[in-house]
Amino acid sequence: VQDVATGQSCGLRGDGESHRWWTEKVLKILAEIQAPLSLLMLRLCNWALLRLLNRLFLSVQLHRGQLEMVLRAARTSGVPLVFLSMHKSQVDGLLLSFLLFSQGLGVPRVTVGGQVCSPRLRALLSRLGGIFLPSRTEQTPSDRDEGLRGAVLATYVEEVLRSRQPLLIFLEEPPVALHLSAPAREWLALVYRAVRDGAVPDVLLVPVGIAYDVVP
| Residue-wise burial string across 9-32, b where 16 or more C-beta atoms lie within 10 A, e elsewhere | eeeeeeeeebeeebeebbeebbeb
Mean pLDDT for the chain? 84
Instruction: Please give the distance of CA 207 from its chain centroid, rounded to a whole number.
Output: 16
Q: How far apart are CA 161 and CA 78, in angstroms?
A: 10
Residue 208 neighbours by CB distance under 10 Å: 19
The pTM for the full model equals: 0.84
Q: Would you kindly state where each structural domain of the chain is located, as residue ranges?
A: 14-208
pLDDT at 159: 94
SS3 24: helix
* 32 touches 154 (CB < 8 A): no
pLDDT at 167: 94
Question: How many degrees, rounded to 5, is the angle at CA 138 between CA 167 and CA 179?
Answer: 40
pLDDT at 132: 93
Which parts of the chain have pLDDT scores under 50? Answer: 10, 12-13, 139-140
pLDDT at 13: 47
Residue 156 neighbours by CB distance under 10 Å: 19
- 214 contacts: CB under 8 Å, gap ≥ 6: none
Q: How far apart are CA 124 and CA 38, in angstroms?
A: 9
Q: How far apart are CA 115 and CA 148, in angstroms?
A: 24
SS3 168: strand
pLDDT at 114: 66
* 172 touches 92 (CB < 8 A): no
**3-state helix vs strand vs coil in the chain, percent to 5:** 50, 10, 40
